[in-house]
Amino acid sequence: EAGVAQSPRYKIIEKRQSVAFWCNPISGHATLYWYQQILGQGPKLLIQFQNNGVVDDSQLPKDRFSAERLKGVDSTLKIQPAKLEDSAVYLCASSPQRNEQFFGPGTRLTVL
């Protein structure tokens, strides 16, 4: 089966600009996660969707980050405006009903 797809793979922007990431989960997976992985650290959950509803967004900086999962399939994560400390790899993962999580390749964001 096809894995989790993410795009773009790399993005370089200047601070205060906006950026959006896209994730296509494995077909049929109800749960979708966005993680932020800062260099030298483990992934940190930003937001979790169950179908198109938000289950957990307690660690999402809502003043600048937003995410949506329309129709319960694809998802986008947006940062507006970006700060230097947002430089990280953004990982998308999906799972069938909160079981094993399957990760995408990630998007590496550099904010200058």
Other Cβ atoms within 10 Å of 12 Cβ, number: 12
For residue 35, the minimal CB distance to another protein (Å) is 8
Please, which residue, 82 or 106, has the CB nearer to another protein? 106
Residues 68 and 80: their CA atoms lie apart, in Å, by 14
Indicate the length of the chain as a whole number. Answer: 112
Please, which residue, 33 or 82, has the CB nearer to another protein? 33
**Torsion (CA) 86, 2, 74, 38 in degrees, nearest 10:** -10
Task: Please name the helix (run of DSSP H) or strand (run of DSSP E) that holds residue 12, with its range, or none.
Answer: strand 10-13
Which residues form the interface with another protein (CB under 8 A)?
3-4, 31, 33, 40-45, 48, 55-56, 91, 93, 95, 98-106
Please, which residue, 82 or 109, has the CB nearer to another protein? 109
For residue 5, the minimal CB distance to another protein (Å) is 11
For residue 71, the minimal CB distance to another protein (Å) is 21
